[in-house]
């Protein structure tokens, strides 16, 4: 078993954070997330439909829950094939850096 150095750990952490954001919060995955949670065409302000998967919603939006398992997947992939996992992690880490830079600079909506 390998222990990642600081650079690898930073890349893996940034990639895990970005994947968590994509799954839990980004607008681009609203439709698949709604389908998974059985929200259908639910809109804010409406009554939550029957069959809504509350536990799944809690899981995929919780950084302690889903974030842990996403991190385990990244770390396991790095254990199996370190170089190629880092190659895949770099675009996610760069995206995370852009988000971190953009948020403080963006004017309030």
Tens of pLDDT, residue by residue, the chain (109 residues) = 899 999 999 999 999 999 999 999 898 988 888 777 776 665 566 666 666 777 888 889 899 999 999 999 999 999 999 999 999 999 999 999 999 999 888 887 6
Q: What is the pLDDT of residue 16?
A: 97
In the numeric block, which tokens belong to residue 47? 């009554």
Q: What is the pLDDT of residue 37?
A: 78
Residue whose C-alpha is closest to residue 66's, from 76, 75, 56, 79: 56
- 82, 8 Cβ separation under 8 angstroms: yes
Q: What is the pLDDT of residue 107?
A: 81
Cα(88)–Cα(74) distance, rounded to whole angstroms?
10
Q: What is the pLDDT of residue 41?
A: 62
Cα(48)–Cα(32) distance, rounded to whole angstroms?
17
Q: What is the pLDDT of residue 45?
A: 63
Nearby residues of 12 by Cβ (< 8 Å), 6 or more positions away: 4, 71, 74, 75, 78, 85, 86, 89
Q: What is the pLDDT of residue 73?
A: 97
* pTM recorded for the entire structure: 0.82
Q: What is the pLDDT of residue 44?
A: 63
């Amino acid at each position: 078993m390998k222990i990642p150095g600081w650079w690898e750990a930073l890349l893996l952490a940034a990639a895990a954070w970005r994947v968590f954001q994509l799954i839990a919060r980004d607008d681009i995955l609203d439709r698949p997330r709604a389908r998974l949670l059985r929200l259908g065409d639910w809109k804010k302000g409406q009554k939550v439909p029957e069959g809504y998967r509350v536990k799944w919603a809690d899981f995929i939006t919780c950084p302690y829950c889903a974030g842990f398992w996403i991190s385990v997947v990244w770390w396991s992939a790095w254990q199996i094939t370190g170089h190629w996992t880092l190659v895949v992690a770099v675009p996610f880490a760069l995206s995370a850096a852009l988000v971190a830079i953009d948020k403080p600079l963006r004017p309030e909506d």
